Chains A and B, each alone.
Chain A
């Protein structure tokens, strides 16, 4: 009987160790891409709320691989709402002067996110994913499977703070993240700046809402967060 017990413990121990090394915190090779869009407003219907700036960084568990930041020139001039302009420090001359044609930018965004194993973002499932899906459709690509690749730091941080753990036996990671996004909890701060300050991350917080600054901070937050959540 003792033998059986020891064998079963060893077996379960082995599984535990295997499962432990499946965690994303130990993943050094998979390609992640972190994406952030600065947009005209908070409307989720992209044709009415086009992004005027994008920031992306390709990275893996070891280091950053490539950066991409562009102002985007669409078929119409940007129509940024007063509130969004104030928050994002929108300056129309930047788009006019440095803006790149949207077709070129959209192609790069779709290429990067398609080849990455994971798409990282802050409140990505609640907002940015609609823009990304719109871009996939523009390129004639299927949007199936995009959401399943997303790691949303806002959702994961909220789960951590309210102590609601992800259980792969009873839920999918996507369902878990949506549940967290849809869970309203007062006085729990999970915005990027709050998380950055809480983790004691060195960053120029005055430059936030510049897309590249946001994604850069988002990676730093992820590298802290991934050791606290079991995914």
Chain B
């Protein structure tokens, strides 16, 4: 069975994924465009999930120009109530992905993003499901990431979130990246989706091109978080398998 590659773009350092126009080759000493990966490896479709909407314009222009089917989504922080900054509300923090289904979907997503980045802003843009429900349209698709979803947080982080997805039928992503808690998290997702008759898709989040690029990615993250490679203080920064190379291996 095919595993869906989900790219996450970045703008920094070598071997990190960008949304730039392809140059027709992949140079290991420079950042790699997701569209170059698509061209070199004959991908007809690329799925990009970013944490903000700023890359969408470049991504959609390049996708159109180079005839690559783009599926774009934004990963949002979701809490119980965006008007409350209480500890209780923050304990319900989890991630969701809102995908654009068609052209109108972009405008619908833009409104949701604006709401999250203005009314819901607390260090980062935040949403709550009541707000999302009120703004939901059929031009959007709801995805639940494998890591940091409400199920993941409830199982492994003491989260206390029971969301009501009645307004949209979410699709859950399942991943296997060799982390010690992957099997446990996957079993919880399977149990929940079976009980609620929801769809799952085998997927792989891709942050860099080759496994050897992980150190560049880790360095980039350490700079962002103001930590060091000796003490990165970041969960999950232990595997070099979030790469396109690893996705190719799994699909062989």
Number of residue pairs spanning A and B whose beta carbons lie under 8 angstroms apart? 71
Is B229 in contact with chain A by the CB < 8 A criterion?
A: yes
A43-B230 contact, Cβ under 8 Å, with A130-B238, A178-B157, A182-B157: yes
Residues of B within 8 A of A148 (CB): 183-184
Q: Are the C-beta atoms of B157 and A41 separated by less than 8 Å? A: no
Complex Cα distance, B64 from A10, in Å, reads 73
Q: Are the C-beta atoms of B229 and A48 separated by less than 8 Å? A: yes
Q: Are the C-beta atoms of B156 and A43 separated by less than 8 Å? A: no
In residues 212-243 of chain B, which contact A (Cβ within 8 Å)?
214-215, 218, 229-233, 235, 237-240
Which of B180, B181, B215 interacts with A48 by CB under 8 Å?
B215
Q: Are the C-beta atoms of B230 and A178 separated by less than 8 Å? A: no
A133-B178 contact, Cβ under 8 Å, with A45-B240, A179-B157, A179-B158: yes
Is B155 in contact with chain A by the CB < 8 A criterion?
A: yes
Complex Cα distance, B156 from A171, in Å, reads 10
The interface-forming segment of A18-26, A102-110, A139-147, A208-216 is A139-147
Look across to chain A and name the residue whose beta carbon is closest to the beta carbon of B240: A45
Bitwise, B152-168 to A at CB < 8 A (1) or not (0) is: 00011110000000000
Q: Are the C-beta atoms of B240 and A147 separated by less than 8 Å? A: no
In the assembled complex, the CB of A50 is this many whole angstroms from the nearest CB of chain B, namely 13
Complex Cα distance, B230 from A48, in Å, reads 9
Which of A41, A81, A146, A178 interacts with B156 by CB under 8 Å?
A178
Look across to chain B and name the residue whose beta carbon is closest to the beta carbon of A49: B230
Complex Cα distance, B187 from A46, in Å, reads 27
Complex Cα distance, B235 from A182, in Å, reads 10
In the assembled complex, the CB of A180 is this many whole angstroms from the nearest CB of chain B, namely 8
Is A77 in contact with chain B by the CB < 8 A criterion?
A: no
Residues of A within 8 A of B231 (CB): 41-43, 81, 83
Complex Cα distance, B184 from A81, in Å, reads 34
Complex Cα distance, B183 from A175, in Å, reads 11
Is A183 in contact with chain B by the CB < 8 A criterion?
A: yes
Bitwise, A50-90 to B at CB < 8 A (1) or not (0) is: 00000000000000000000000000000001011000000
Q: Are the C-beta atoms of A147 and B184 separated by less than 8 Å? A: yes
Q: Are the C-beta atoms of B180 and A45 separated by less than 8 Å? A: no
Is A44 in contact with chain B by the CB < 8 A criterion?
A: yes
A179-B156 contact, Cβ under 8 Å, with A48-B229, A83-B231, A133-B178: yes
Complex Cα distance, B230 from A176, in Å, reads 28
Complex Cα distance, B179 from A125, in Å, reads 11
Complex Cα distance, B179 from A178, in Å, reads 13
Q: Are the C-beta atoms of B237 and A147 separated by less than 8 Å? A: no
Besides the known contacts A144-B183, A175-B184, 14 further A-B residue pairs in the complex with CB atoms under 8 A apart:
A42-B230, A42-B233, A45-B214, A46-B238, A48-B215, A143-B180, A146-B180, A147-B181, A171-B155, A178-B155, A179-B155, A179-B156, A182-B156, A182-B157
List 14 interface pairs A-B (beta carbons < 8 Å), by A numbering: A41-B230, A42-B230, A42-B232, A44-B238, A45-B239, A47-B240, A48-B215, A83-B230, A84-B230, A130-B180, A137-B178, A143-B178, A182-B235, A183-B157
* Chain A to chain B: the 9 pairs with minimum beta-carbon distance, closest first: A44-B238, A147-B180, A41-B230, A81-B230, A178-B156, A179-B158, A182-B157, A130-B238, A42-B231
